[in-house]
Structure 1
Amino acid sequence: MKVLEAQSAVLSNFEVHQHVLQQRERYKKSRHRGPPNYETVVKELSSWLEASPSPMSQKPTPYTLQSIPTLLERLRPYDLSKGEVVMILNLRPANVVALNVIVEDMAGRFDETQQEELVTIITEVLGAFEPAEEAPQENGEGDVAMDDAGQAA
């Protein structure tokens, strides 16, 4: 691949994933051989993007080609930077605390009502993100507090 214009756009994880998969299909249809390790890169990228706790790990994926422009339009009044919007797309924050990590000086820029509105917009457009629950430990083994470790020995 040849980079035609460096830094012409910022892409979300979903857009990168879509581009890589479309490029793979183009190589298959044209019967041209892609770069030597292209299939490995596609497989590794897909497994990383679709692994939990990534928002793209949900099946069916809530991301669509229409969800990005819809989200951009609905977030426009909040004057978020490009980087903040891309991070929102990539991480899909489910609450104000998670959004606070993404948006710079959120408490200074937005009141509590606006912060809740942002989370609501994200949830409406990208869906609710339910992180995978941890599997319960069957035999009671696992992390031991320091006090308990001394008693067990």
Structure 2
Amino acid sequence: MRVIEAQNAVLTNVEVYEFLNDQARQHHKEKRRAPGNLETVRKELLQYLESSPNPMSQRPLPYNVAAIPILIKKLRPYSISKGECVMIMNLRPTSIANLNAVLEDMEGRFNEDAQQSIVDIVIEVLGQFPPPPEEEEGDAMQTTE
């Protein structure tokens, strides 16, 4: 096998996740096994994508591949690059602080209202993270002096 086009497109985590799940279902339906190393890579990658704190660990996943063009369309007025859009899809920033890690020179490019507007668009299209489970008073760590 040889590579004809090296990196034709950049994929988001959700696209990779859906591709791996579809491929696994197809192999199961056809009752054939993929090579062992492929099965191992697929299994470990799916476990990674489904583990917390990964943005895709939420079940059911509040978005799918169809959310990508919607997000891009809503973010178009902000002149966000393709790479930044991919990072937004992968990291799903739901606060301005998280968004700052994704967008280059965010404070220089966007005022506070625009920053909050971008976060609101991400939450609207990709969903909000569920609140962390609250610890019961008896479960809280106690310190001793």
* Both structures adopt the same fold (TM-score exceeding 0.5): yes
CA RMSD of the aligned region, Å? 2.3
Structure 2: unaligned runs, 5 residues or longer: none
Number of aligned pairs?
145
Partner of 1:117: 117
**Contact 1:52–1:132, Cα closer than 8 Å, also in 2:** no
- Alignment partners' CA distance in 2, 1:137 and 1:43: 37
Letter in 2 for 1:132: P
**Structure 1 alignment gaps of length 5 or more:** none
- Between 1:4-13 and 1:91-100, the stretch displaced more is 4-13
Distance 2:67 2:34 in 1: 30
AA aligned opposite 2:126: L
Structure 2 Cα separation of the partners of residues 141 and 107 of structure 1: 38
Describe how 1:129-140 pairs up with structure 2 within 5 A. 129-130=129-130, 132-133=132-133, 135=135, 138=138
TM-score (norm 2): 0.85
Q: TM-score, normalised by structure 1?
A: 0.81
Q: Match of 2:86, SS?
A: helix
Give the Å deviation of 1:29.
Answer: 3.5
Residues 63, 126 of structure 1: 8 Å contact kept: yes
SS in 2 for 1:55: coil
> Percent identity over the alignment?
48
Indicate the SS of the match to 2:117: helix
Q: Which residue of 1 aligns with 2:61?
A: 61
Query: Residue 56 of structure 1 contacts residue 63 of structure 1 at CA under 8 Å; is this kept in 2?
Result: no
In structure 2, the CA distance between the partners of 1:111 and 1:135, relative to structure 1 (3 Å rule), is same
